[in-house]
Structure 1
Amino acid sequence: MIDLSGINWTLSVTEAGAFGSPLVTGHQWDFVPAAVPGTVAGALAEAGRFDPDAPTPLHDKDVWYEGWFEAEPGAYRLCLDGLATIAEVYLNDVLVLDSRNMFRRHERPVELQGNNVLKLCFRALAPHLNAKGSRARWKPQLATSQGLRLIRTTLLGHMPGWCPEIHAVGPYRPIRIEPADRPRISEKTILADLAPDGSASLSVSVRLENIGAVPVLSCAGTSAEMALQEDGSFAATLRPGTVTPWMPHTHGTAALYEVTIDAGGDQFCLGRTGFRRLETDAGEDGKGFGLKVNGVPVFCRGAVWTSADLLGLSGDAEIYRPLLEAARDAGMNMLRIGGTMLYETRAFFELCDELGLLVWQDFQFANYDYPVKDEAFVAEVEAEIRDQLAISMGCPSLAVLCGGSEIYQQGAMMGLPEERWKGPLCEEILPALATDLRPDVPYAPNSPSGGVLPFSPNEGIAHYYGVGAYLRPLEDARRAEVRFAGECLAFSNIPDRQSLDEHLPVKPVHDPRWKARVPRDRGAGWDFEDVRDHYLKTLYDVEPADLRYGDPDRYLDLGRAVTGEVMEKTFAEWRRPGSPCQGALVWTFQDLAPGAGWGVIDAGGQSKPAYYALKRAFRPLQLALTDEGTNGLAVHVLNDGPEERAVTLSLTCLRDGQVPVVSGKIDLALAPHSARTLNAVELIGAFFDVTYAYRFGPLSHDVTVVELRDQGSGDLIADAYHLTGSGLSPMHFDLPDIELRPDAAGGWLLCLAARRFLQSVSLSIPGFQPEDNGFHLAPGIAKQIGLKRSLCCEPSTAPAGVLRALNLRGQASFKPTESSDREPS
């Protein structure tokens, strides 16, 4: 095999249509080095000719790639896994492929000479966007061109206010050349199943080329000869005796098993698979949407994935791994690839398999009225879906296939009747392909869908922005009766100070470059910083405009805290046992540009304060509080795991953030995959107005602290807090005790002990990322936080940093000495 990523590639940008043939390429062109796989934007940026922070259009130019290589003369296969978007491929100046779909994978038989040249021409997309097509029944504001409904390309780069206008152009997926007589598997289907009685089966079908022997399939300690089928393929079904079921990491073990085929000494690895059974759960009234994995109801929580590399569109495991591990570490168990994004590579799914992350895969259709009466368009779509589902074949992480994003919603919001916006693309074409290729994966016609209107949150799948863009009070999260939020809780989430200093060194809020990075919906007169400010005023009773003017640093600190607090409170509502909600995915997982974007991970890969809030909200063994008014304080304890847990639950009400007023505790045995709700009275043993609902006299306490500890070790598992006064705790000067010490694994532990309640503790430690941040800390709780060294931090560097809190006057600095330095400011 010839891996063409290893040869020297160059590219040249020309005016659209300037050259119709590769025969004119040569020394007169302005060539720059290029990487394959890669993009034009990435190559030009590497050459200093493209600024990702101020991108220039690329869809109005032609781009020619050229690469020379040597080979033994003979017959080969040219394999191209992804070309964006209108592409012509010339081998030795002969046209071998004309592609008009970014999401297709291509193979072409070719003859090679001793010396060869491969030329790729990526034609300007703009003329195709302006081409006439069938009349659309509605015109969304999402993207810049209505012509995008006619072209199979990503919407990334075409959605102002959502992401930088970096256009996807180039050979963004690998190119290789294989000998035509090389033994190979040309097609495969893999279906791993787990029956209700726990028995496992693996059905595999393959089509072989250049192999004469009978293949033998092996997996999980069992093997079987594969039988020749009438269509020329080979098939076999294995029934392993004992396997560990694959479960999302929050609910069990993500067990995987290697699948191999031996055909007369030719060994083929088909990857790893997991045995699991997926079912949709419509709830008792049949109006909901949820997932059961191996019969266990799973509350799906996570975020909507955007892109690991907007500039280069890389699909390598080393790009994905740190982000996917961050998702796993945050307690997320599902990521949704939305219809406005990009199909990801096999490496993405394999990592999700390994890490126990479920994947919701939208097919890449969003908002538009697609021309499904065009037979050529439909044929291209069918080929695209077959190509893309072949990539994730056998991957247990693939959990939902969805017809796309907001197609139904757009039509319905335009006032069209259901028969106009519900059509064959999502109701017939896509589900038929999904059922044929991945019958083990549930299909949803669209996100959102399912209610009397497709965007009604109390049925089916919702895009819930009641709390968020629609500025509803936090109580709306319960009132809306959300069943499953395919996306929700979009805020302009502010990165930490260090990240802003490194990636966006401007005066926050007032600098136009700051405002340009705040996401907005195209055509709207507001942005998502306005949304954040609304909840800043609502929860903390402060005037955002006054803070921005008089104390911008405090404005940013409060802004960092408030979006996380809204998320924690909302997920406490949705995860409580009485809630009809069966899952919710935050919009979005990662930012596409530096600044206060939607992501909970910033564009530099660093966790924002909102990420840590979700990490607390998503704990598999969880403690959450809800204020039930005159019904008191509800304490919800959840055990998503597969084992019984013996725990102790304690509650303490504090006056002035330090003086205990009342307390109580109770021992519990939490069954596997269970949840229960207690009232604070059950811990205290008598009436006490914990929520200050009855208001008998002055407020006796300002914060209630609830702890969940392991009965055996006494270790703190989770803590939760309820503030009974203002949303902001009173300011004080009591600095905490801080100690930095090495841990047994060669890392560092930050040990904290507060004298008085600290609200939203913020840690800034250059070169290190703490396991927790933005947390509340009560007196009497000894908190230990592991510090993870960043890749750019030298191994010999010891951590040193600063601790702040919303109610702390001053800050505490610390470094690894016997007694921590503490410097009020």
Structure 2
Amino acid sequence: MTPAAQDHPQRVVLGGMWQICATAPGRFTSPTQLDALAPGEWLTSPHVGTAAALMRDAGRWSLDGPARRFDSEDWWYRTRFTPPSLEDSEPFWLGFDGLATVADVWLNGQPVLHSSNMFLSHECEVASQLVPGENQLDIRFHALDTLLAAKRPRPRWRVPMVPQQQLRWHRTTLLGRTPGWSPPAAPVGPVGAIWWERRDPLGGLRPQLHSSVDAEGRGQVRVHGGLGNLADAQIERIELELSRGGELWRLPLTIVDGRFEGTLTLERPALWWPHTHGEPALYDARLIAQRRDAPGPTTHGLRPVGFRRIEADTTDGRFGLKVNGVPVFCRGACWTPLDVVSLTSSHEALHAAVQQARDAGMNMLRVGGTMVYEGDAFFDACDELGMLVWQEFMFANMDYPEQDEAFLDSVRAEVAQQTARWQGRACVAVVCGNSEGEQQAAMWGAPRELWAPALFHTTLREAVEAALPGVPYWPSSAHGGAFPHQANAGTASYYGVGAYLRPLDDARRSALSFATECLAFANMPDERTVARMPGGLGLRVHHPGWKERTPRDLNAGWDFEDVRDHYLASLCKVDPVQLRSVDHERYLALSRVVTGEVMASAFTEWRRPGSRCGGALVWFLRDLWAGAGWGLVDDTGLPKACFYALRRVLQPVAVLITDEGVNGVAVHLVNERAEPLAGELSLRLYGNGDALVEEATLPVAVAARGDASIALAQHLGGFTDVSYAYRFGPPPVTLVHAQLKASDGQVVGEAFHFPAGPMLPVRDDLGLSARYEPERRELLLATTHAAQHVHVQFDEHLPVDNDFHLAPGAARSLALQRTGASTGRPLKGWVWALNARSPVPIVVPT
């Protein structure tokens, strides 16, 4: 969520000075009783936020310190503000963008609001309750633990990830309330801005906007809404205006009975595409109103409009998306709040995080039902950058009390508010009812008739279809097939490769249809992340401080580090327990890269021509706190090795290699761009000692948004057991290197394959060298022998790529990004490869 004033210039955020304090549940029930508190019991803050965020800002609490249960206390907030002078009968609004979780609000001692839904925003007209001069606002947030103790009917199935099953009655996030995978920082307090507003006439328009593309390629924008206060202002006309690239389109709107509406048609609009497939074209939109009593028109800015057609393809029980009639392989990750403590982020931080995902070749982010709704800035970034959004309502796993009318009324209000915010968003590709609701019921043994509650299959579906025409609705993140989590039907949470310890070929054997989440591992972070953890670089992976941040399911006798160790043992042929006991640094180094190898292998299978997979989203783009979490990047956005590994296989133009067993090795070329690709593919095979066994160069042409598969054996002079399937003696090939160059000679993709196993023998000297070029801020790398998982660590700099392979005799220029201000000390750095005995210092010119 973002500050209200940035999106609504008329609004004034109540900053100033806030006071908060924690009290025993029920100790005070009215702000008039708070005088009993001593001044020292109040914490003063220059801004508003969750209790945990304000305590953190004041240095009184930290995720790195002793845990505090924020749900066990009442939290009181108060502030004073001076409103402007109002004219007679002029309305004055107080707004609350989100109150977590059950809250009462008083203005000058008079109650103005009771809220029991964290996901609802509120606007209260309070002109009659204002007093001259300073006014006092008080808010009480009830202790959730006390509310959870109330006697209620038991759920029909249990949810292992939450210790308190009656959370199902309360509309609040599971973040902070799921020990094992989210930090102990339950959000209590305001989770967005609190503001006041004097509205100009156009401020009450609240237009609804829908864009569509018909079968003939015509774009339409329909706008409608109520005039509100403008009905008494004798509006002469209202026009809808679109503009893009210097062109302008205008439509006079019809005004009838205090409402306005109209549909603007563009014959051949520039279409909005996910960035992997084209340009995410947007049109600026605004309303222009002319009052009879005003000298000039008034302009009301709308969000940009994109024209695209999105369809869900459920042919033969699968699930996939078509954008503008083109099948799109959706890949990306599950989004998490950038700050799990405050649940707020700046526009700039959100844009940078979405940009990072885009640069990695991702084209979809999933906002899951275990999280929170993101604010407009998130969707602005996704619209602009061409990132599809799989958006869920904030329901997850639990048996929600849909028979309770009060609960259902609150849900209907929540859904109406959220769908209004998503209207006209080009990026919103799927709206989904919940996260794993059907799967949890099925896995817990609930009867089949309970797997499909009417709340998700009827109520929410009807609301979405009415509010968001043209946006596919899907009832649950795992849905379809004989059971909800069946991998080869509908959508599923796929953990065959991963938590279920299946071999890597299960990625193909499962015939995955669409994974709304997958590939969860305790991904080892960068050294700089470990340095920020309590205990720093001296922390060992078996230490309780480390294990506290290792994700786990509450009722399981294993954690996701055990999952990672399973694949470490399988792929690298080492004993993880022994290795971490005698060579902890080597264990960390191997652990950093092994999950990326697994992920890249799975996505290679899912992207290859012939795969029926429509998409896959990794469980967590970003960690919630520093540690070996599920994220591809750490809690600050610092990439892990698995992020780089995925980026190499997710690009719109990609080279992929698969082992086809006794059928040899196949090279696959993928071109998602709107233009055909012509170039040259070089294939090099190396044996022991990095000796060149054979090479071939061939021209290739791949159609626009097309792909091609090439049997490697077809381009060899004779039979070579490249896949090492026949095993007549030692492996003749230990490395296959495929490199694709465009017609201009630029390398647009490459892939490495190790037929004899993923780890080459360790050498004393690879001939690896690295030199820093300060003028270009580049690192020049070269190697004599094949170098695996080359890792760069350089003061004040972050490479644009890391943990990559270099072919024998290869050289590479690597761009560097400065990560902070210069310390003035001489720069130091190292590069090392996992098949090298020791690191190599970076040569820095003096």
Taking structure 2 as the reference length, the TM-score comes to 0.93
Match of 1:247 in 2: 273
CA distance in 2, matches of 1:372, 1:602: 37
Match of 2:310 in 1: 278
Say if 1:651 and 1:684, in contact at 8 Å, map to a contact too: no
- In 2 relative to 1, CA 797–612 (structure 1 residues): closer, same or farther, beyond 3 Å? farther
Equivalent of 1:308 in 334, 338, 344:
338
* Structure 1 residue 128: Cα displacement: 1.5
Equivalent of 1:724 in 735, 752, 755:
755
| Mapping 1:767-786, distance limit 5 Å | 767-786=796-815
SS in 1 for 2:273: coil
Equivalent of 2:175 in 146, 151, 156:
156
CA distance in 2, matches of 1:300, 1:362: 16
Match of 1:90 in 2: 106
2:786 counterpart of 1:793:
no
Q: CA deviation digits over 1:186-205, x for unaligned, max 9?
A: 43221111223322111111
SS in 2 for 1:477: helix
CA distance in 1, matches of 2:660, 2:253: 61
2:59 counterpart of 1:48:
yes
CA distance in 2, matches of 1:531, 1:731: 25
Match of 2:222 in 1: 203
2:37 counterpart of 1:6:
no
| Mapping 1:375-394, distance limit 5 Å | 375-394=405-424
Equivalent of 2:595 in 554, 563, 586:
563
Letter in 2 for 1:765: F
Q: CA deviation digits over 1:47-86, x for unaligned, max 9?
A: 1221222330011111111111112344301111111111
CA distance in 1, matches of 2:726, 2:479: 42
SS in 1 for 2:332: strand
Aligned length: 810
* Structure 1 residue 316: Cα displacement: 2.7
* Structure 1 residue 685: Cα displacement: 5.0
- In 2 relative to 1, CA 735–501 (structure 1 residues): closer, same or farther, beyond 3 Å? farther
CA distance in 1, matches of 2:533, 2:146: 36
2:612 counterpart of 1:580:
yes
2:575 counterpart of 1:547:
no
Equivalent of 1:31 in 7, 25, 42:
42
CA distance in 2, matches of 1:725, 1:388: 53
Say if 2:657 and 2:668, in contact at 8 Å, map to a contact too: yes
Match of 2:293 in 1: none
2:89 counterpart of 1:72:
no
SS in 2 for 1:59: helix
Say if 2:690 and 2:786, in contact at 8 Å, map to a contact too: yes
| Mapping 1:252-331, distance limit 5 Å | 252-264=278-290, 265-283=297-315, 286-331=316-361
Say if 2:769 and 2:842, in contact at 8 Å, map to a contact too: no
Query: % of aligned pairs identical?
Result: 42
Say if 2:522 and 2:628, in contact at 8 Å, map to a contact too: yes
2:122 counterpart of 1:106:
yes
Match of 1:436 in 2: 466
Say if 2:94 and 2:195, in contact at 8 Å, map to a contact too: yes
Match of 2:840 in 1: 812
Say if 2:158 and 2:444, in contact at 8 Å, map to a contact too: no
Worse overlay, 478-487 or 207-216? 207-216
CA distance in 1, matches of 2:680, 2:48: 54
Say if 2:524 and 2:628, in contact at 8 Å, map to a contact too: yes
SS in 2 for 1:389: helix
SS in 2 for 1:190: strand
Match of 1:640 in 2: 672
SS in 2 for 1:664: strand
CA distance in 1, matches of 2:241, 2:835: 61
Structure 1: stretches of 5+ with no match in the other structure: 819-825
SS in 1 for 2:135: strand
Q: CA deviation digits over 1:611-664, x for unaligned, max 9?
A: 111111211100111100111101110001111111211111112352111111
Match of 1:217 in 2: 240
Letter in 2 for 1:710: A
SS in 1 for 2:486: coil
Structure 2: stretches of 5+ with no match in the other structure: 1-9, 291-296
Match of 1:462 in 2: 492
CA distance in 1, matches of 2:159, 2:502: 24
- In 2 relative to 1, CA 424–659 (structure 1 residues): closer, same or farther, beyond 3 Å? same
Match of 2:7 in 1: none
Letter in 1 for 2:113: L
Match of 2:5 in 1: none
2:83 counterpart of 1:60:
no
2:392 counterpart of 1:355:
no
Taking structure 1 as the reference length, the TM-score comes to 0.96
* Structure 1 residue 798: Cα displacement: 8.0
Worse overlay, 196-205 or 499-508? 499-508
Match of 1:821 in 2: none
Q: CA deviation digits over 1:331-381, x for unaligned, max 9?
A: 111110111111100111001111111111111001101111111111110
SS in 1 for 2:92: strand
Letter in 2 for 1:215: I
CA distance in 2, matches of 1:83, 1:770: 41
Worse overlay, 612-621 or 24-33? 24-33
2:639 counterpart of 1:623:
no
CA distance in 2, matches of 1:362, 1:233: 31
Worse overlay, 487-496 or 193-202? 193-202
Alpha-carbon RMSD across the aligned residues, in angstroms, is 1.7
Letter in 2 for 1:804: W
SS in 1 for 2:189: coil
Letter in 1 for 2:749: A
CA distance in 2, matches of 1:44, 1:96: 27
